[in-house]
Amino acid sequence: MISVEHLTKCYGDFVAVDDLSFEIDEGHVYGFLGPNGAGKSTTMNIMTGCLSATSGRVLIDGHDIFEEPKLAKKLIGYLPEQPPLYMSESPVEYLQFVGEAKGLRGEELRQQIAQVIEQTRIGDVQHKRISALSKGYRQRVGIAQALLGKPRVIILDEPTVGLDPIQIIEIRDLIRELGRSHTVIFSSHILSEVQTICDEILMIAHGKLVAFDEPGKLEKRLLSPNEINLVTDAGAEQAQKLLSPIEEISSVSTSPMDGGYLRVEIRTDSGDIYSVSRKIFNAFKSSGKVLLEMSLKKANLEDLFIELSEGADDGGSNADSNESEAKEK
């Protein structure tokens, strides 16, 4: 549906996007993830024709965004980081303008406006001035604008930034809903958000693609050992002695807690974390000491994210290997 080929964008000496290439298929929700300043907005602006590229090209369903801008842009609905709204108008008037600019006329225009108003649930405020609307509603008007003209791809740049928790949940639900009928690409620097909504994650750091995979698979790729945390009433020495026979454990660290309890952090390289925890449990049981708390810490995207973006920071072999893995996919 969308293919980005060797995209590079420089501002003077600063390279915002660095030889970025990826393909996007139809009918999924894609999360564009990266820390602030990673080049997410720049990439999105180039993909939608708002910005030129220094080199490389973007094809939307085979149409080059720079060579055939009209055909390509008709396939895309775009909501920039700051919703581009005319404050003196009402949502209906605003949508009318955008619809006409997208080539809709007469009955079709009226129908589509009514449809997107219902989809984004802005019916209550459709005749108010946009300047009087809350941030959440403004964001919805922005999304409604992107939906007009029935584009096949919806691109949303940080749609949940600056909203309150309830509004964030509503917008996320809306994105999920849109994902059923459109290809949705949205950017965010919040991991949990991307993790819950997306089918695929594109991770970008310092203008480079560092990972492109499903959220579950990305978690699996995390190489750091799994952790088991426990709280026990045994002493530090005793705990060390109890755990030392278990082979799978690679390191143990203890720290005393209030009330004479001990917190133990165990790292293991074993693939079967439950067998390790069973052994730990049995060791404590046989000694008569009690395990008051036991928790497994699974690798999460947060760690991977930090690892990958730091890797790109060094510009070392780590980033390269990740990138080549991403390309292989």
Q: Which residues bind other proteins (CB under 8 A)?
A: 11, 45, 48-52, 69-71, 73-74, 76, 78, 80, 82, 84-89, 93, 97-98, 100-103, 145
Between residues 75 and 239, which has the closer beta carbon with respect to other proteins? 75
Give min distance, CB of 49 to other proteins, in A: 6
Between residues 53 and 308, which has the closer beta carbon with respect to other proteins? 53
Give min distance, CB of 74 to other proteins, in A: 5
Give min distance, CB of 236 to other proteins, in A: 59
Between residues 74 and 208, which has the closer beta carbon with respect to other proteins? 74
Between residues 11 and 274, which has the closer beta carbon with respect to other proteins? 11
Between residues 187 and 232, which has the closer beta carbon with respect to other proteins? 187
Between residues 148 and 264, which has the closer beta carbon with respect to other proteins? 148
The beta-carbon contacts of 171-180 under 8 Å, at least 24 apart in sequence, are 171/136, 171/139, 171/140, 171/143, 172/196, 172/197, 174/119, 174/120, 174/140, 174/143, 175/29, 176/29, 177/119, 178/119, 178/147, 178/154, 179/28, 179/29
Give min distance, CB of 50 to other proteins, in A: 4
Which residues are registered as beta bridge partners of 155?
78, 185
Between residues 48 and 160, which has the closer beta carbon with respect to other proteins? 48
Give min distance, CB of 138 to other proteins, in A: 12
Give min distance, CB of 118 to other proteins, in A: 22
Give min distance, CB of 48 to other proteins, in A: 5
Region label for 260, one of left (φ > 0), alpha (ψ between -120 and 50) or beta (otherwise): left
